[in-house]
Chain A
Amino acid sequence: MVTIRSLWWKILAALLVLVSMYFGLTTKTGPGLAYVSPERVDASSDFEITITGYNTSFFPDATPKVWLKKKNRLYCANSVTVIDRNHLQVGFNAFEGKVDSAQRIVMTVVVEDEVNGMFLGVNRLEIDQSDTLKTYAAACTLKPEKLSAIQYSFPYRTTLYETIRNLHFHVPMWFSMITVLFLSFLSSILFLNKSDVKYDHWANAFAATGLVFGIAGIITGAFWARFTWGTFWTADPKLNGAAVAVLMYIAYQILRSSIEDEDKLARIAAIYNILAFPIYIVLIIVLPTIAEFSLHPGSGDSVGFKDYDLDSNLRMVFYPSVMGWVLTSVWIATLVYRTKRLEFQQTESEINNEEN
């Protein structure tokens, strides 16, 4: 019973990681708009488009509604026919006037029904407007109700597509790294305060674990970037900051292995670590956030995933995942610390035996 009482948070860590991993892997993305065909239409006469949905379930009973949207002006479809669960045939009347003064415009397709909720295909339809039209077309009065989908699902985003679920695996690596490095920083302060070598062992164990999670974060990030941005690496404030941060903690480990005198080593390592942590936070959070441009979500001019997560479905998996991984990283760090302590105690007793 004593073991269970002291192990509960480790069991919790395992359960959170496993449960969030299951839902992170199996929740579908969508409903979303995969294709519109044709991609270009002439609006001087009545026209029809076919919408192909992604993980949609169109039913005639749910009466899907379709709009074309340009800025805040909405144009209602004249007829919507459900072909099957993933296809809609949509008819529009010829435009009686122009949508705006340009001859060719790009419009967003908006679809909504009770099952799939509302979803968009942003700038997916090119429209040729007749030159003879002089007046402006009247927008329709029926507006989308901004319904959510019935099914629990992750947002369907172009560029990201199914990789949106990487959020639950890549990002917790960084949360874990930040947590254990903060604990390492605190341990180093405690060491300088109390001059107890056990705090130096804590600082070392936390920093080593942080490094492992940082390397995992860099590799997963590079792989994700290859299939969303098209390249493993690019000179981006977030990426470069993360790389320098990881190098800084590699340097900490090299520093530790290069000093012979143990008292000196502990003190120098503690000072390095205390200086490194604020710089680490600046590199990994502050500089990317205030940067003018960045590809990375949440940095510079890029919006974060919270702006995609309109019905909080991502958060419901993301938060447990972060908690699980942070607890796991602390757990691993405690194991590293305890083996270091055992090693230390063994060498101490060996030295004592020799002296006797």
Chain B
Amino acid sequence: MMHKIFSMLLSVLLLVASAGMASAADLDLDDTFFQAGKYYVVAVILLIIFAVLFTFLMRLEMRVRKLEKRSKS
């Protein structure tokens, strides 16, 4: 369950990242900061941190669910 959600998040994230890089390259604009400056790496790292945080939140959700089930029975 958790693996499924996490891999889903990660694949969407990588898809979005590659789409962003492709569109920037197509237009042949000044990419000193964004591409040569490897700025996208920073953006993707922030995304990974937030994806991990959301996965953690999801784990917490599951743990609370388990506790709720136990307290009901």
Q: Which residues of A contact B (CB under 8 A)?
A: 3, 7, 10-11, 13-15, 17-19, 21-23, 25-26, 28, 55-57, 85-86, 150-152, 331-332, 335, 338-339, 341-342, 345-346
Contacts and interface: CB of A to CB of B under 8 A. Distances in A.
A345 to B, nearest CB: 5
B50 A57 contact: no
Nearest to B21: A26
Contact of A22 (B23, B43, B60): B43
**Interface of chain A: mostly helix, strand, loop or mixed:** helix
A335 B16 CA distance: 29
A91 B1 CA distance: 66
Top 7 nearest A-B pairs (CB, nearest first) are A14-B54, A25-B43, A338-B64, A57-B29, A26-B43, A22-B16, A26-B20
Contacts of B20: 22-23, 26
Interface string B31-50: 00010000110111011001
B68 A18 contact: no
Contacts of B42: 25
Given A10-B61, A56-B30, 19 more contacts: A3-B1, A11-B8, A18-B12, A19-B16, A21-B50, A22-B20, A22-B47, A25-B43, A25-B46, A26-B34, A26-B40, A26-B43, A28-B29, A28-B34, A55-B30, A150-B27, A151-B29, A335-B64, A345-B71
A343 B24 CA distance: 52
11 contacts: A7-B61, A10-B61, A11-B8, A14-B57, A17-B54, A18-B13, A23-B20, A26-B20, A26-B43, A342-B71, A345-B71
